[in-house]
């Protein structure tokens, strides 16, 4: 398993070693000791899965303290463009984003630390998106950042190949507040 630190401090790309043969393939998707050796020391307590139609956009979500969540996300069927945004006050990359393609074919996983907003666009029908999270869902702490906030400077068409007017977005995700309103919820720790 290869784990690489990404341009946003704390975020990591996880590339499992795949063993294919005539029967199919096998790979380790999670190994606590390997993650810990790469600096991922979260304890993960819940797994979630969503299934999305092509062009569904989910995000940009996070859970506020005291129930903030770190996540490991992956796609078990289909493909998606995953986007994370650093919302930690004092971070050298505050407000910056990173887009990562996730698919059944590449089998990559993305570690999303606490203090990041997270979302994705499904590129295929029936895209199955898996989340491993470090805290249970607490609806009173559920929050997000408006996906098209100009302060984020995300060129959605450039990173997804899809005109954002074609995104299928839930009413809840359409009314999240701006990046600025989330700027005091998390603090960067080097």
Among all residues, which ones are annotated catalytic?
A: 61, 131
b/e per residue 75-86 (b: at least 16 CB within 10 A): beebbbbbbbbb
- Residue ranges of the alpha helices (H) in 42-185? 156-160, 171-174
- d(CA 153, CA 109) in angstroms, rounded, equals 24
8 Å CB contact between 117 and 61: yes
């Amino acid at each position: 398993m290869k784990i690489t630190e990404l341009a946003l401090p704390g975020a990591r790309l996880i590339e499992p070693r795949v063993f294919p043969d005539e029967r199919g393939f096998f790979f380790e998707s999670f190994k606590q000791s390997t993650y810990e050796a790469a600096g991922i020391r979260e304890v993960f307590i819940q797994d979630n899965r969503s299934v999305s139609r092509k062009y569904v956009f989910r995000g940009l979500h996070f859970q506020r303290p005291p129930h903030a969540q770190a996540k490991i996300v992956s796609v078990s069927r289909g493909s998606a463009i995953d986007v994370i945004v650093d919302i930690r006050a004092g971070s050298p990359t505050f407000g910056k984003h990173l887009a990562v393609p996730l698919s059944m074919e590449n089998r990559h996983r993305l570690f999303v630390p606490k203090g990041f907003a997270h979302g994705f666009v499904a590129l295929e029908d029936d895209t199955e998106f898996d989340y491993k999270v470090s805290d249970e869902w607490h609806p009173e702490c559920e929050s997000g950042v408006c996906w098209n906030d100009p302060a984020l400077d995300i060129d959605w068409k450039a990173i997804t190949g899809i005109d954002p007017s074609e995104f299928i977005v839930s009413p809840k995700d359409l009314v999240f507040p701006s990046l600025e309103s989330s700027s005091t919820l998390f603090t960067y720790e080097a």
